[in-house]
Amino acid sequence: MELHLPIANVIVNPMWVLLLGTIVGFLSGLFGVGGGFLVTPMLNIVFRVPYNVAAGSGLAQILGTSVSATAKHRGLGNVDVKLGSCVFASGCIGAECGARVVELLESAEPIIVAGRDVARLELFVPVAFLVLLSTVGTITLKESRRARRRAPRGGVVETPIANRLRNIRIPPTISLRAPAIESISLWILLGIGLATGFVAGFLGVGGGFVLMPLLVYGVGVPTTVAIGTGLFQAMLLSSFGTLTHALKGNVDLVLVLLLLAGSVIGAQFGASLIRKVRAAKIRYWFSLIVFSAAMAVLVKLAVQLGLFGTRAS
């Protein structure tokens, strides 16, 4: 069974796309990420969807998945609307900047790497993915392994960075639902939103794989609240990112519908599992998934540069 994707201009097996959507939806509900850090590179690596279309379509898929998963987490009391709204406010600016960078790279002349002409978008996006995934995975893996050996703390991780950031008193300040955060500068949250927004627009992700660790380790938000709030922010940010990419012709509606068909169901199962697993173990599993995605991107990049003797088309 084969299906032609009109915008991406590639032929895919719809059953495999449905399976990818289901897996991404499950991980989204469990880890509080839109799943774009998996779906965007996988669309490019496995289905050969161009990165700009993978980014735009990935954001549209994240929108549908995050709506379903956010509703589930809201019922579990894991969503801090004030926190998510603050991060989203500056995230829109970052997302537009990221989407514009994608357009610039797409129209730029190829560069020569290892004796081959390589499109700038096909080079810089995988490298950015690789650096971010490796950094997030390493930090999360180290902390979660230590946390699994100590008594549970309700998912709250105390770090020197979080303590310093909470002591910054540049007005205005706001209070959050998290019990350890009575007051924090609004500028800290806006800065986090700007960074995650740029990641969302540039890489075609909801930014959750960056936001969740930033909230847990950089601000001290409990893991379950960071997961639910991350999904809420991904829902808002991906709606804006989807619009800006759609206006640029980067959203393949057929591809999005296939992904959503599986991911909405998977997200419900992932969100239901979160109450049965210790927070430290969730962060540990999250780091392994992130490393797996980084490895896939690394292999794709090596093939693209001809290091394995062949070149991906």
pLDDT per position as a tens digit, 156-169: 677 778 778 878 88
Find the domain containing 20 and state its range: 3-304
- Asked if pLDDT for residue 75 goes beyond 90, the answer is no
Count of H helices and E strands in the chain? 11, 6
Contacts with 267 (C-beta within 8 Å, 6 or more apart), sequence order: 25, 26, 28, 29, 65, 66, 68, 69, 72
For the segment 77-103, the average pLDDT, to the nearest whole number, is 86
Are 147 and 50 within 8 A, CB to CB? no
For the segment 24-49, the average pLDDT, to the nearest whole number, is 77
Residue 188 inside a domain? The answer is yes
Are 193 and 91 within 8 A, CB to CB? yes
Per-chain mean pLDDT for the chain: 81
Q: Of 115-129, 150-164, 250-264, where does the model show the most confidence?
A: 250-264
Give the separation between CA 265 and CA 247, rounded to whole angstroms.
Answer: 28
Please give the residue that has the higher pLDDT: either 276 or 285.
285
Residue 312 inside a domain? The answer is no
Please give the residue that has the higher pLDDT: either 157 or 134.
134
Residue 283 inside a domain? The answer is yes
Q: Residue 284 has what pLDDT?
A: 84
Residue 311 inside a domain? The answer is no
Percentages (nearest 5) of helix, strand, coil residues in the chain? 70, 5, 25
Residue 310 inside a domain? The answer is no
Residue 313 inside a domain? The answer is no
Residue 91 inside a domain? The answer is yes
- Asked if pLDDT for residue 237 goes beyond 80, the answer is no
Q: For the chain, how many structural domains are there in total? A: 1
Percent residues over pLDDT 70 in the chain:
89
Residue 149 inside a domain? The answer is yes
Q: Residue 248 has what pLDDT?
A: 84
Are 39 and 24 within 8 A, CB to CB? yes
